[in-house]
């Protein structure tokens, strides 16, 4: 299952950190730095998977942003890799051509998107249509 | 679809975020934040009640500041207030703040739980989801206590909305993971399983994660899920690419759900019902067929989604390991991927093939890809792919291809990345040993290994080659010749000198007939390396020299001269000096016969699990390796050294309280006269009574951190103990001293364990002492100390006492030195809550640094300096060796001198060990 989800830019600024495991604040910071260090040195010829401590990181780069999911070593790499893409497509639709700034200014909405699609470290909903419908319904609420 | 405008709804927030982004320096940012914090504080404290909107805005700003990495110490109450708002946007911000800044403030927890409770019973699906997400995100014990019984009801109720069911299922999963004791499925089981039939695919997608987790823990109760999962899978797999509409992803029907279904099935053996099984096999075949069909889209998303299902299906096929046809097909499919242009696929194919290699049905099919895999090892750009290739070569190795694979791995080693060298070395060493048909090949391989990657050859590896050479007389001559040749190289690795020294010292005579390797030539060759070597190697060489004196009397004078020179006999290293002095003396005073006996050839080593295999397992971490190794050795039968007693790798059976059953008592050493004992004064001559000691005596506690001393003493008897431990073995000498002047009759001692003990001498004369030796082997970790029962007659009365033997789990520690970064990395790896045990307690003894250090060293761990940032703290590391397992343990002791308190934290790879060590140690300081 998912241990955490991170969105970071190339400079290492965190744009989203969602934790599904207990870590204290110092540890979270350390993990964020470590993930950044492992992921940014890799190029397009490398796999989208990196061993990471006792887990593995499945990541994909979109322009200047790295979307990283930390999962158990036995988890299905490709399912999570496409899980990332599915999530990105939803963000893109929801924010209409999402860019890094959308995630900064609407950070509290990004959490809602995450919770619709991933919960308790598991995939909750995969249908883009259903997720977007729900998000728009919430958007219309006061 | 309207896009969300930037920061809509909360202008103030957007302005603040812009301000922060415009800050030119860290200082400016901090200044701006402090200004904002002051502002928010004054608003919260102000007389005017804030409206919901402002409260939401300020709480959201606080959250933003927190996420930037600043501490937030107020605003919690306002966030909690937002929870009871009836506006979605306000509630959402409240819940988000709570989820991100979980705080175990008990006051607040009560309020939060109250708000959650209200929302759960609100019948408003949006509010219910918010509340469920909050529980799922926080997952605290308090929340489990409050809601674990409520959520299953919501999950299965007929009128619950689909989206709420999805959240409820995963919320329950989270609570089950954190507090399994509080989540009782009982009556709900069947209805939860039937969620697999739910019309809404999203509900199935969420519920199946819960069902999988529950099935892993209670397979029998949930086994009806198998047939439901198979029929659901079958419907998806056979549907056309557009049938599932919303759940079709790049022309692949429900890829994530398919993967989850296949994974659920991996919790169970193949279905027994023929029809269900037939249907499942059909699904798996369809999935394999689809992999051969032309892609419906050129997008990588399409092929990834399709292959995600394929790899999961292959995992299931491997898990069943019963369908030769499917296994071979899977292997062929992976074989195609080995040459795919996508690095991801090559990587995954190598990884998946590694497990296929361990199935007897597909092992041969995997082997056909050897050339491709070797090529991958040589040419892949990504080191992690090369690593997988090396793993696969290791897994596919058997007698037929061992020479080729070992040769390839050796040549790869010359250029291998530093990060994987040590593991490669271990693998080569293991394969060479396991598949050696002729031992000369084995010896050559290991010596090559030392030559190519000497720095990465651990002790285990070179110990092992020596053990094997000593145990196999057909290879000794060859080994001597080969090391002799290897040592000719002008610069050879120190490990080579060690092996060379040891082997020539034992078997140099086998090649001494050749004038090119005459005794003196051998000696001079070894000695030419001496000055370049470290102390332990020099010590080993000195032992080789004395062995030479025995093997070749003609070298005696030369060697004595070497030993006699100042650099040996006055060496500042005490070990070297002692060896030089003793060997010199031995060689000059002992007769040839005595010398021959003392310096006889080493006896064969006892056969046991190859220590290098154990090392590899340790490197890979518990549970991570060994499917392959175990399977392999099953198939191959006897390893080189007759393996045989491989310990239970995963000791899963709960062990009975006394686990140390291996006390094999050695013969007693008879009554030795006690040294004129001031202790042995007869002060007691009353007609005896029966004494039974309370099993926890204070004496016993003292032995946790030391090995020798007095275990027990009363007016009649004193029991002293000397003990020594090495790895998982221990030897304990018990000295029973009769303090009276009267004889003890019928003296018996019985360790309360399932062992045969030879009786001690039945009579103990007045003032005399007798000795008993116990050999101890630690089979698995344990918490109760073994008992020793002692009975004897003194002046006609029967004396009976039962003592706890001071054998505690820490005796089997091997100290582990590590750097600060290693320490903390491992510390974090052991982060599961049950792996940690912690106690805060009052100091009972002196808090003096030296005293503490002595105790911690006595504990058996390595005391690590410069690891903890706080110099007042102590950190230690060690590995507990039991027969079947090694348990890594990290310890941190934080003294607080002012409060006279300690905080002790233990993290071990096995939770029972953490707890036990914590209990033991808390009484030591």
| ipTM of the prediction | 0.98
Instruction: Kindly report, residue by residue over B300-319, the tens digit of the pLDDT.
Output: 999 999 999 999 999 999 99
- Residue B57 assigned ligand-binding role: yes
- Residue B43 assigned ligand-binding role: yes
Query: Which whole number is the average pLDDT over B73-85?
Result: 93
Greater confidence (B340 vs B631) lies with: B340
Query: With contacts defined as CB-CB under 8 Å, which chain B residues touch A52?
Result: none
Instruction: Kindly report, residue by residue over B785-837, the tens digit of the pLDDT.
Output: 788 888 888 776 778 888 888 888 888 888 888 888 888 888 888 888 888 88
Residues 789-818 of B with CB under 8 A from A: none
Report the chain A residue with the minimal C-alpha distance to residue B85. A142
Greater confidence (B542 vs B885) lies with: B542
pLDDT at B561: 93
pLDDT of B527 higher than 90: yes
Q: In whole numbers, what is the pLDDT of chain B averaged over residues?
A: 84
**Angle at Cα B910 formed by Cα B908 and Cα B913, nearest 5°?**
75
Query: Which whole number is the average pLDDT over B74-100?
Result: 95
Greater confidence (B907 vs B898) lies with: B907
Query: Which whole number is the average pLDDT over B535-559?
Result: 94
User: Quick check: A119 contacting B, CB < 8 Å?
Assistant: yes
Instruction: Kindly report, residue by residue over B389-427, the tens digit of the pLDDT.
Output: 999 999 999 999 999 999 999 999 988 888 788 889 999
How close A119 comes to chain B (CA, Å)?
6
pLDDT at B778: 80
pLDDT at B884: 76
Choose the mutation target among B61, B308, B905 for the interface with A, i.e. most A CBs under 10 Å: B308
Query: Which whole number is the average pLDDT over B109-117?
Result: 94
Strands (E), B701-796: 709-713, 717-726, 729-738, 744-751, 769-777, 787-794
Instruction: With CB atoms and an 8 Å threshold, state whether B347 touches A54.
Output: no
Instruction: With CB atoms and an 8 Å threshold, state whether B259 touches A79.
Output: yes
Query: Which whole number is the average pLDDT over B736-756?
Result: 72
Residues 35-74 of B with CB under 8 A from A: 60, 63-64, 67, 69
User: What does each C-alpha distance from B74 to B43, B61, B65, B459 come to in angstroms?
Assistant: 12, 12, 12, 56
Sequence-distant (≥ 6) Cβ neighbours of residue B603 within 8 angstroms: none
Query: Which whole number is the average pLDDT over B673-689?
Result: 32
Considering only CB atoms, A105 lies closest to which of B17, B166, B263, namely: B17
Residue B897, token pair as written in the block? 């001198």
User: Quick check: B126 contacting A, CB < 8 Å?
Assistant: yes
Greater confidence (B251 vs B635) lies with: B251
Q: Could you give the maximum distance between any two Cα atoms of chain B, in Å?
A: 105
User: Quick check: B888 contacting A, CB < 8 Å?
Assistant: no
Query: With contacts defined as CB-CB under 8 Å, which chain A residues touch B385?
Result: 47
User: Quick check: B316 contacting A, CB < 8 Å?
Assistant: no
**Angle at Cα B148 formed by Cα B144 and Cα B151, nearest 5°?**
130
Q: What pTM value is reported for the model?
A: 0.70
Report the chain A residue with the minimal C-alpha distance to residue B12. A105
Choose the mutation target among B2, B5, B7 for the interface with A, i.e. most A CBs under 10 Å: B7
- Residue B61 assigned ligand-binding role: yes
Report the chain A residue with the minimal C-alpha distance to residue B341. A45
Query: Which whole number is the average pLDDT over B189-196?
Result: 96
Considering only CB atoms, A119 lies closest to which of B6, B167, B829, namely: B167
User: Quick check: B348 contacting A, CB < 8 Å?
Assistant: yes
Residues 208-247 of B with CB under 8 A from A: 209, 245-247
| Least-confidence region, from A28-42, A77-91, B669-683 | B669-683
User: Quick check: A88 contacting B, CB < 8 Å?
Assistant: no
Please give the Cα distance from B618 to B616 (Å, whole number).
Answer: 5
Return the bridge partners of B769, or none: B672, B737
CB B811 within 8 A of CB B705: no
pLDDT of B731 higher than 90: no
CA-closest candidate to residue B690, choices B797, B802, B803: B797
Instruction: With CB atoms and an 8 Å threshold, state whether A101 touches B89.
Output: no
pLDDT at B803: 80
How close A123 comes to chain B (CA, Å)?
7
Sequence-distant (≥ 6) Cβ neighbours of residue B28 within 8 angstroms: none
Please give the Cα distance from B857 to B775 (Å, whole number).
Answer: 23
pLDDT of B766 higher than 80: no
Choose the mutation target among B130, B249, B351, B376 for the interface with A, i.e. most A CBs under 10 Å: B249
Residue B687 pLDDT class (50, 70, 90 cuts):
very low
The total number of residues written for chain A in this structure: 142
Residue B684 pLDDT class (50, 70, 90 cuts):
very low
pLDDT of B7 higher than 60: no
Instruction: Kindly report, residue by residue over B322-368, the tens digit of the pLDDT.
Output: 999 999 999 999 999 999 999 999 999 999 999 999 888 999 999 99
pLDDT at B615: 72
Residue B188, token pair as written in the block? 């709900």
Q: In whole angstroms, what separates CA B209 from the centre of its chain?
A: 27
CB A95 within 8 A of CB A102: yes
pLDDT at A88: 98
Share of chain B above pLDDT 90, in %: 52
Report the chain A residue with the minimal C-alpha distance to residue B828. A27
Instruction: With CB atoms and an 8 Å threshold, state whether B1 touches A96.
Output: yes
How close A60 comes to chain B (CA, Å)?
12
Query: Which whole number is the average pLDDT over B22-46?
Result: 95
Instruction: Kindly report, residue by residue over B230-285, the tens digit of the pLDDT.
Output: 999 999 999 887 778 899 999 999 999 999 999 999 999 999 999 999 999 999 99
Residue B559 pLDDT class (50, 70, 90 cuts):
very high
pLDDT at B817: 84
The total number of residues written for chain B in this structure: 925
CA-closest candidate to residue B333, choices B349, B312, B355: B349
| Least-confidence region, from B60-74, B555-569, B750-764 | B750-764
Packing angle between helix B370-379 and helix B402-413, nearest 10 degrees? 0
Between chain A and chain B, the number of residue pairs with CB atoms below 8 A apart is: 176
Q: In whole angstroms, what separates CA A21 from the centre of its chain?
A: 15
State the burial class of residue B51 (Cβ atoms within 10 Å of its Cβ: 0-12, 13-18, 19+): exposed
Residues 26-55 of A with CB under 8 A from B: 27, 29-30, 42, 45-51, 53-54
Residue B268, token pair as written in the block? 């169970």
| Least-confidence region, from B1-15, B161-175, B484-498 | B1-15
pLDDT at B105: 65
What does B263-327 look like in DSSP terms, one character per residue?
Answer: HHHTTSPSPSSHHHHHHHHHHHHHHHHHHHSPPS-SSHHHHHHHHHHHHHHHHHHHHH---HHHH
């Amino acid at each position: 299952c998912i241990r955490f989800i991170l969105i970071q830019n190339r400079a290492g600024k965190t744009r989203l950190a969602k934790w599904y495991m207990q870590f204290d604040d110092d540890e979270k910071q350390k993990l964020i730095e470590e993930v950044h260090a492992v992921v940014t040195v890799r190029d397009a010829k490398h796999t989208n998977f990196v061993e990471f401590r006792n887990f593995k990181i499945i990541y994909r780069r979109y322009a200047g942003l790295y979307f990283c999911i930390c999962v158990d070593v036995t988890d299905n790499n490709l399912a999570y890799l496409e899980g990332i893409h599915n999530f990105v497509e939803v963000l893109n639709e929801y924010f209409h051509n999402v860019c890094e700034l959308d995630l900064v200014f609407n950070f509290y909405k990004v959490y809602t998107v995450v919770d619709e699609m991933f919960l308790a470290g598991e995939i909750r909903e995969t249908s883009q249509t259903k997720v977007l419908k729900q998000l728009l319904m919430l958007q219309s609420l006061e | 679809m309207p896009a969300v405008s930037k920061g809509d709804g909360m202008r103030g927030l957007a302005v603040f975020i812009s301000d922060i982004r415009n800050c030119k320096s860290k200082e400016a940012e901090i200044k701006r934040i402090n200004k904002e914090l002051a502002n928010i504080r004054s608003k919260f404290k102000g007389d005017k009640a804030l409206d919901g909107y402002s409260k939401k805005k300020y709480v959201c700003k606080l959250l933003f500041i927190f996420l930037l990495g600043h501490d937030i110490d107020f605003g919690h109450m306002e966030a909690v207030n937002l929870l009871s708002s009836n506006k979605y946007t306000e509630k959402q911000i409240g819940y988000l703040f709570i989820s991100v800044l979980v705080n175990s403030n008990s006051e607040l927890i009560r309020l939060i739980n109250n708000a959650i409770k209200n929302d759960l019973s609100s019948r408003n699906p949006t509010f219910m989801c918010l509340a469920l997400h909050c529980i799922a995100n926080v997952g605290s014990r308090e929340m489990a206590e409050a809601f674990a019984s409520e959520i299953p009801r919501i999950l299965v109720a007929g009128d619950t909305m689909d989206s709420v069911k999805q959240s409820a299922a995963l919320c329950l999963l989270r609570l089950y993971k954190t507090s399994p004791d509080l989540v009782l499925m009982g009556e709900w089981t069947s209805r939860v399983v039937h969620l697999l039939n739910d019309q809404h695919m999203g509900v199935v997608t969420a519920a199946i994660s819960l069902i999988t987790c529950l099935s892993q823990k209670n397979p029998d109760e949930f086994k009806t899920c198998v047939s439901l999962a198979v029929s659901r899978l079958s419907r998806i797999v056979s549907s056309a690419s557009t049938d599932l509409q919303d759940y079709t992803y790049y022309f692949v029907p429900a890829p994530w759900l398919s993967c989850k279904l296949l994974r659920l099935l991996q919790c169970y053996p193949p279905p027994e019902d023929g029809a269900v099984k037939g249907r499942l096999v059909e699904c798996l075949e369809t999935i394999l067929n689809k992999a051969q069909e032309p892609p419906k889209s050129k997008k990588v998303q399409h092929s990834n989604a399709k292959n995600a299902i394929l790899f999961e299906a292959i995992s299931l096929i491997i898990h069943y390991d019963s369908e030769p046809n499917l296994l071979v097909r899977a292997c062929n499919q992976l074989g195609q991927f080995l040459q795919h242009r996508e690095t991801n696929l090559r990587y995954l194919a190598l990884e998946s093939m590694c497990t296929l290699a361990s199935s007897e049905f597909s092992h041969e099919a995997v082997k056909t890809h050897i050339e491709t895999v070797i090529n991958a090892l040589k040419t892949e750009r990504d080191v992690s792919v090369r690593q997988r290739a090396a793993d696969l070569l290791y897994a596919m190795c058997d007698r037929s291809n061992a020479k080729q694979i070992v040769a390839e791995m050796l040549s790869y080693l010359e250029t291998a990345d530093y990060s994987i060298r040590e593991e490669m070395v271990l693998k080569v060493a293991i394969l060479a040993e396991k598949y050696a048909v002729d031992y000369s090949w084995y010896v050559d391989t290991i010596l090559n290994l030392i030559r190519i990657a000497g720095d990465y050859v651990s002790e285990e590896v070179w110990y092992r080659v020596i053990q094997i050479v000593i145990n196999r007389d057909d290879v000794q001559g060859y080994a001597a010749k080969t090391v002799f040749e290897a040592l000719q190289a002008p610069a050879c690795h120190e490990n080579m000198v060690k092996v060379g020294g040891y082997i020539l010292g034992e078997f140099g005579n086998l090649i001494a007939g050749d004038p090119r390797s005459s005794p003196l030539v051998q000696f001079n060759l070894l000695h030419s390396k001496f000055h370049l070597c470290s102390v332990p190697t020099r010590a080993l060489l000195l032992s080789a020299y004395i062995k030479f004196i025995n093997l070749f009397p003609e070298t005696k004078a030369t060697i004595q001269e070497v030993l006699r020179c100042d650099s040996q006999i006055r060496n500042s290293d005490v070990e070297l000096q002692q060896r030089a002095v003793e060997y010199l003396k031995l060689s000059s005073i002992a007769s040839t016969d005595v010398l021959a006996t003392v310096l006889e050839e080493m006896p064969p080593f006892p056969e046991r699990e190859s220590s290098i295999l154990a090392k590899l397992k340790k490197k890979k971490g518990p549970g991570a390796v060994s499917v392959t190794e175990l399977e392999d050795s099953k198939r191959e039968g006897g390893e080189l050294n007759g393996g045989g007693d491989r310990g239970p790798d995963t000791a899963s059976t709960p062990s009975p309280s006394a686990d140390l059953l291996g006390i094999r008592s050695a013969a007693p050493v008879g009554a030795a006269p006690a040294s004129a004992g001031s202790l042995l004064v007869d002060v007691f001559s009353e007609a005896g009574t029966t004494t039974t000691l309370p099993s926890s005596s204070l004496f016993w506690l003292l032995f946790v951190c030391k090995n020798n001393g007095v275990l027990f003493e009363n007016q009649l008897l004193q029991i002293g103990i000397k003990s020594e431990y090495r790895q998982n073995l221990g030897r304990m000498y018990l000295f029973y001293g009769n303090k009276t002047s009267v004889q003890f009759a019928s003296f018996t001692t019985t360790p309360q364990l399932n062992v045969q003990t030879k009786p001690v001498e039945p009579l103990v004369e007045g003032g005399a002492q007798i000795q008993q030796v116990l050999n101890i082997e630690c089979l698995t970790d344990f918490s109760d100390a073994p008992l020793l029962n002692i009975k004897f007659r003194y002046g006609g009365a029967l004396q009976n006492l039962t003592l706890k033997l001071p054998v505690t789990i820490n005796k089997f520690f091997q100290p582990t030195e590590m750097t600060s970064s290693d320490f903390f990395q491992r510390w974090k790896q052991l982060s599961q809550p049950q792996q940690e045990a912690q106690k805060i307690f009052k100091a009972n003894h002196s808090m003096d640094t030296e005293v503490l250090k002595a105790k911690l060293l006595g504990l058996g761990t390595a005391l690590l300096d410069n690891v903890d940032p706080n110099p007042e703290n102590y950190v230690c590391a060690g590995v507990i060796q039991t027969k079947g397992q090694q348990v890594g343990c990290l310890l941190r002791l934080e003294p607080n001198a002012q409060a006279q308190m300690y905080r002790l934290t233990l993290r071990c790879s096995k939770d029972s060990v953490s707890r036990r060590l914590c209990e033991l140690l808390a009484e030591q300081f």
